[in-house]
Amino acid sequence: MKTRDKIIQASIVLFNEQGERNVTTNHIAAHLGISPGNLYYHFRNKEDIILSIYDEYAGNLLLDTFPQVSDEEKPLDAIILYMDVVFQMQMKFRFFYSNLPVLLDKNQNLREKYVEVQHAISERLSQLLLSLKSAQAINFDEDELADIVSILRIINTFWVSFYQTQNIVKEVNDTIFYQGVLKILAILRPYITDKSLPELKKAKEMYQQRCQDALLNN
């Protein structure tokens, strides 16, 4: 692995474990056994590392892996696949999402990149919901679409933060990620057509099972 990539991967681990505000560039360099000068050759400062993490990994990965409704797949699978990606991202880059408003305040370049990716995601999520409507898997009035997209995105963005603020012990594990997907299914539930209800029920049971399995493995 190249030094630049090593710095990015180590930063993600340290930020997640210790909280971004408790980790300095010196900590990251010491953790990798490289000199601070070597780190500064690749990144100007910590904000520059965070921008690269979002730009090269989190943000673009979301767009690259965005699923589409196709003839080969069941329509609801596309949205579950998408939520899977989103919540895995939340777990992998949880330092980013648990401190999002502050990080964006500190870094205008990051804010601009983030807003750009978010608009692209809103657009694609709207298209995905419209495809599901065409496939008669869900049903909604056109004037409800923007609100449904917003609500899904709020849950996507803040689910881990919400979970962490509801408990005295702030533990993060895989059950949280499955519970997030279950919340998304709960939001979609009233819009699901009778035809697709068994598919939703099956998905719900699968995630409840995964949640229980993850609890036992903890």
- Residue ranges in contact with its own copies by CB under 8 A: 19, 21, 98-102, 104-105, 111-112, 114-115, 118, 144, 147-148, 150-151, 153-155, 157-159, 161-162, 164-168, 170, 182-183, 186-187, 189-191
CB of 89 to its own copies, least distance (A): 15
- Of 32 and 172, CB closest to its own copies: 172
- Of 35 and 108, CB closest to its own copies: 108
CB of 29 to its own copies, least distance (A): 25
> Three-class SS of residue 16?
helix
- Of 44 and 189, CB closest to its own copies: 189
- Of 43 and 97, CB closest to its own copies: 97
Letter for the amino acid at 113?
Answer: K
CB of 73 to its own copies, least distance (A): 25
d(CA 155, CA 87): 10
CB of 104 to its own copies, least distance (A): 6
d(CA 20, CA 97): 11
Backbone angles phi, psi at 192, to 5 degrees: -70, 135
Nearest to 127 by CA among 187, 83, 88, 79: 79
Letter for the amino acid at 142?
Answer: E
Beta bridge partners of 46: none
CB of 206 to its own copies, least distance (A): 16
d(CA 28, CA 26): 5
- Of 19 and 36, CB closest to its own copies: 19
The residue written with tokens 């474990």 in the block is 17
